[in-house]
Structure 1
Amino acid sequence: MQTLRALVWVLLLGCGSRTAYVQAPPTEADVVIHVPCQGARCGPPPAPPPPPPQIPPPRMLAAGYDHSCALTEDGGVYCWGSNQYGQLGEVGDERTWVPGRVPGLPRMDAVWAGADQTCARAEEDGRVWCWGETGLPDDAEGPLQLVYADVRQVALGHRRGCVVDEGGRAFCWGDVRPPYGPRWRTPQRVPIDAPVEIVWNMQRGCALLQRGELRCWGLVHNYYATERAESPTFRLLGVEGAAMVAMKTENDDEVLVVDRAGRVFVSETGRSRRMQSRDPVLALRRVEGIDDPAQVQAGGSGYCARTGEGTVACWGSNLAGQLGDGTYAARTRPTYLPLTGIRGIAVGQYHVCAHDGARVWCWGENSAGQVGLERPNKIPDPYLVPW
């Protein structure tokens, strides 16, 4: 129905020549209804923010006290967690839960972490770059290149470290404890013959020798190697030669050993003895429930093992959820996690990370973002780190 807006002129009687304009009531044509835009009529929605840069697939993991690092397929090193001592490879002490690439490095092929420091090895010449609280004269806020080439393995502790080169020579620095200390401000050659691997904890170091024995220094089962004594070489009772070794990073005198038959053992506190013939013996007990271990690592108060089939089992203390079984209950026997196809693990003080060649999971203590999650909580289940 057509309607017209009309203005009616009304002459008001008794008002002289004054006139007034009176507007008629609104009709249907005068009503305007505002309806929110919906559906296709509104046009395309605003563009979402761009996704973060994709990180290349992981090849190797490393974990320190409260930081984590990954070597990626393109030779880069990415770190996250605490940066209080520059262990993330960047200036500043801000912690971050987002993996960030360490600047200034050539293409790398291995990464290691210990306490509040990190090292990586250059693919081209096998030289090592380190940063964080290294124990060297100038703790590096950024990567510092060491002089040694053709490095096979790096072992890092609290303000100390060692490298083993392809020739079987070991060089150590920092607070290495007797008989090689008390502290070296630059890397020094240590008289250990043909070490396969070196591990550290808070009080001592141990070297796995090619003949399957352990040579340790510092506090080891009530045996203290003084500056006047040689470091003891332990015979391992009931073990067919050691192939892998791990030590808890806290002040614990327990040693985990995997023999060449793939069996897992831990030393029994108080049952080792020093013989008069300078032939110390390390008594071991079998750990049941681990078959075909391909990698073993120790944290502050527990262990994790990766099997050849790509599964992961952990045991020990679990106050931070570092066993990854969804609880905070300690386990005396290995407990398997719901992960498969795992190619590498890294055990920090109270957190653990694992990767399958494409994805990274972490769990346990997350006070500094070392698990890769923003909220500073304990994470008792494997968390998929945004990659």
Structure 2
Amino acid sequence: MALHERFGGWRVVAFVVVVGFAWLLGCQDAAGPRPRPSQGPSTPLIVSAPVMPPSVASSGAATARLVGGDSVVFVSAPPGSFPGGAFATIRNRATGSVVTTPVIDGGFDPVPVNAVVGDSLAVIVTSAAGASLLQAVVSVRGHQPPVVVRTTPPDKKTDVPVNSVMSVVFSEPVDPGTINSGTIGLQLNSQLVAGGASILSDGLHATFAPDAPLAPQTTYTLVITTGVADLAGRPLEQPVQVPFTTGSLTSNVATITLFPSSALVGPGGSVQIQAVLRDASGNVLDWFNPAAPSLSWSTADPVVAIAASSGLLEGYLSGTVTGRAAGTVTVTATSGSRSATASITVGTLAFASVSTGDLHTCGITTTGEAYCWGSNLYGGALGTGDSSRDLVTTTPVRVAGGLSFATITAGTARTCGITTVGVGYCWGDGRRGALGNGDTVNSAVPVPVAGGLSLATISMGLQHACGLMTSGAAYCWGYNGDGELGTGTTSFYSATPVAVSGGFSFVQIAAGMDHTCALTASGAAYCWGSGSAGQLGTGDTNSAPTPVPVAGGLSFKALTAGFAQTCALTLAGTAYCWGVATAGLGVDTTSGCFRATRCTTPTPVVGGLTFSALGPASRQPGYSVCAVTVAGAAYCWGEIWGAGAAPREFGGHPSYTPQAVGGGVQFASVSLGEFHYCGLSVAGVAYCWGGNNDGQIGDGSFFIASDTPVKVAGQP
């Protein structure tokens, strides 16, 4: 077995692709030969020639789709290209399609991007803190030969387990007919080692498995020849030789970790559980070797639920548990002498509220239990106690701690809730004090907000949060570089709640990307923080570290703060917006303020609709807003895809007027994440739609987006 996760199939989605988790938890010193950059000497990026993939490809439960006839190129970077890098974003400047992938060990495996010859790809590599490490534009060219991006073991690696299988990652899919022991092989003292070469279904990952364990304390050379060719018949640009030295040990399973470790499914419903297997040194084990121990799944009571292997999910081996009858059952994953368990409850959920974060969603049941689903980004956004930062769950999982919640708000890689006795709890990304517990570290379980405040509501901004006490006093915590905490200063951050200046009593508060707004009982709106786009509504673009009144003298009953805009509903249900002049304002595009790129005072949303509820706006640069009419129809405007299905980052289009959400669901409330939407129907059923690259719509699917609302799993 080799020391890397793998993935099969080409995970290409018409609006977004997130790949690379196959590399994310692999061996930390993994590297490979440093091939020449295919797109010029100023960047180590490798861009393949366009290839024509199949219209539909699949890997385990994850299905990837392409627009028929579209060609793709594969973009990659060898290990060590971007030290300190965390993520790479690739945007086709011609089509607007965007791909995001993790950067691990300073590089990333080939990422498929829809493109043709002549397109330009803008690539940005950032650190975990958001610092830009690379901003480059590379051109798509034809006739690029394939190269080797990396190998396992990497060049000159020592202490390689004697039962290892060698793996090679190519810059683009190669012809399976050119993969054999003559083109990918192992040499000892210039003599070939007996074994077999094979290629995975994605065409990118090849392996060489020796027929017998390697000799200990011995130097071998992995050899890849120019006999390897791509799908167009172009041979590998140059042969590659990778020497490495074995140790004296084999690599066997030492630990198994299951995620989620607990979940709820309805009768007939199912949930996928990921299994992360590691050796005694903590290396994630990949299952290339057919002689390696298999992973089996079982349940303690097949009357309640059954379990079966279901291939790979985000690079991990997985099992699918299907509920049969009400009850709780233990699920066991076993490999050799090692095993791990998860607890699955078969029952039904009834949601009282639902809230969308950027890449995850949370909801509260009618009995006060909190459930989350989607991405566990930064090691805790789901609050299950699992700190694995890059795992996902496609169905609701119970938040740890046994707390009874009255409200819940999902944000950017973090979540906050208020218990039925008014105590605030937060979990997830704790950087810059965003959890409000006096610390700056992440937490995978709910931790109490400091200060002993009796809270009624919490709103999540991009890197800050604000809450209202039952008395109406406002407190904020987290990042304060633009004065969004409202204390009169722009100090870097506060890890504990600080009182908003002015002594106001508010009935609603809304935190945006870098500004905050609130309403008094009389309907007067106040805002503070960054005003650079006019989002404070004061008639100018000045920032304010303390609350300032919104101009216009309107009385509002609800408001929401987004990326660089604010929207509110008057007492009569008319929507107004102000801020950066994009489709997200929903205002007349011929108006003077729109032509001036900023509407610095409240401006009516076009369409003449009367709304009863306004959903939290996106804190990310999608500028999207949603609201519900008095008849329960949901409408969205801004940079949306389809009928309000997903923000423009998913390849959508700007809509300057409210567009009805399809599906015929009558909503009581709606909430908007970065790439997806959710809402609670008047019947108390939770629905989600839009992007689903992290399972955030919660219907049990993965990587399959939905234009229309789908029911969250676990409900009757």
Instruction: Give the TM-score range, shorter chain.
Output: 0.7 to 0.9
CA drift at 1:301: 2.2
CA distance in 2, matches of 1:240, 1:352: 29
Alignment of 1:143-292 (within 5 A): 143-146=446-449, 147-176=451-480, 177-178=482-483, 179-180=488-489, 181-192=491-502, 193-211=504-522, 212-220=524-532, 221=534, 223-225=541-543, 230-235=546-551, 237=552, 240-248=554-562, 250=563, 252=564, 254-267=565-578, 269=580, 282-292=601-611
Superposed displacement of residue 313, structure 1? 1.3
d(CA) in 2 for partners of 1:302 and 1:257? 14
**Displacement of 1:57:** 0.4
The 8 Å contact of residues 133 and 139 in structure 1, kept in 2 or not, is answered as: yes
1:75 and 1:108 in contact (8 A); partners too: yes
Q: 1:107 aligns with which of 386, 404, 416?
A: 404
Q: What is the DSSP-based 3-state SS (H/G/I as helix, E as strand, rest coil) of the residue aligned with 1:297?
A: coil
Give the alignment of 1:4-83 within 5 angstroms.
49=306, 50-51=323-324, 53-83=346-376
Instruction: Please give the alpha-carbon distance, in whole angstroms, between the structure 2 residues aligned to 1:324 and 1:367.
Output: 12
SS of residue matched to 2:377: coil
Contact kept in structure 1, 2:676 and 2:691, CA below 8 Å: yes
Q: Which amino acid in structure 2 is aligned with residue 351 of structure 1?
A: H
Contact 2:578 2:600 (C-alpha < 8 Å) held by counterparts = no
2:687 equivalent among 361, 365, 385: 361
CA deviations over 1:15-51 (Å, ceiling 9, x no partner): xxxxxxxxxxxxxxxxxxxxxxxxxxxxxxx978343
User: Quick one: which amino acid aligns to residue 163 of structure 1?
Assistant: G
Query: Counterpart of 1:375 in 2: which secondary structure?
Result: coil
The residue number in structure 2 matching 1:295 is 614
Q: Is the 8 A contact 1:105 1:143 kept in 2?
A: no
Query: Distance in 2 between the 1:117 and 1:190 partners?
Result: 22
- Is contact 1:371-1:385 (8 Å) kept? yes
Q: How many residues align?
A: 326
- For residue 422 of structure 2, what is the amino acid of its counterpart? G
- C-alpha distance in structure 2 between counterparts of 1:241 and 1:358, whole Å: 30
> Structure 1: how far apart are the matches of 2:673 and 2:519?
21
Output one character per residue of 1:56-81: Cα deviation in whole Å (capped at 9) or x when no partner: 20000111110001100111011000
Q: Aligned equivalents of 2:605 and 2:701: distance in 1?
A: 40
Give the C-alpha shift of residue 216 in structure 1: 2.1
Letter paired with 1:214: Y
**Root mean square deviation of aligned Cα:** 2.7
Q: Deviations along 1:315-350, whole A, 9 cap, x unmatched?
A: 22124875379x944322222233333233221112
CA distance in 2, matches of 1:156, 1:380: 26
The alpha-carbon deviation at position 144 of structure 1 amounts to 0.3
In the alignment, the residues of structure 2 paired with residue 126 and residue 283 of structure 1 have an alpha-carbon distance, to the nearest angstrom, of 33
Q: One-letter code of the match for 1:150?
A: S
**Secondary structure, counterpart of 1:60 in structure 2:** strand
Percent identity for Structure 1 against Structure 2: 23
Aligned residue among 687, 690, 696 for 1:370 = 696
- Kept in 2, the 8 Å contact 1:114–1:158? The answer is yes
Q: Unaligned 5+ residue runs, structure 1?
A: 1-45, 273-279
Which deviations, in whole Å up to 9, do the C-alpha atoms of 1:272-314 show, x marking residues without a partner? Answer: 8xxxxxxx97241333242242333322321111223322111
**Worse overlay, 155-164 or 179-188:** 179-188
Q: Provide the C-alpha distance between the structure 1 equivalents of 2:695 and 2:710, rounded to a whole number of angstroms.
A: 12
Q: 1:234·1:281 contact (CA, 8 Å) conserved in 2?
A: no
Residues 74-133 of structure 1 deviation map (CA, whole Å, 9 limit, x = unaligned) = 11011000002211002222111111010103211111111111111111x211111011
CA distance in 2, matches of 1:127, 1:64: 21
Q: Which residue of the partner structure matches residue 31 of structure 1?
A: none
For residues 573 and 642 of structure 2, the distance between their equivalents in structure 1, rounded to whole angstroms, comes to: 29
Q: Deviations over 1:203-252 (max 9, x none)?
A: 2222223341222222341633366xx443222x2x6312111122x3x2
Where has structure 1 moved over 6 Å in runs of 4 or more?
Answer: none
1:231/1:382 Cα in 2 relative to 1: closer, same or farther (>3 Å)?
same
Contact 1:315/1:323 (8 A) holds in 2: no
TM-score by length of 1: 0.76
User: Is the contact made by 1:82 and 1:95 (CA closer than 8 Å) also made in structure 2?
Assistant: yes
Q: Which has the higher contact order (CA 8 A, sep 6+)?
A: 1
SS of corresponding position for 2:531: strand
CA contact 1:217–1:224 (8 Å) conserved in 2: no
Q: Which amino acid aligns with 2:550?
A: F
| 2:445 counterpart residue number | 142
Alpha carbons of structure 1 residues 226 and 247: separation in structure 2 relative to 1, 3 Å: closer
Distance in 1 of aligned mates of 2:547 and 2:526: 10
Q: Equivalents in 2 of 1:334, 1:242: separation in Å? A: 19
Match of 1:89 in 2: 383
Q: What code does the residue aligned with 1:323 have?
A: A
Question: Rg larger in 1 or in 2?
Answer: 1
Q: Which amino acid aligns with 1:107?
A: S
Change (3 A) 1:308 1:285: closer
Counterpart in the other structure of 2:266: none
Distance 1:129 1:55, change over 3 A: farther
TM-score (norm 2): 0.43
Q: In the alignment, does 2:432 pair up with 1:118? A: no
CA distance in 2: counterparts of 1:217 and 1:210, whole angstroms: 22
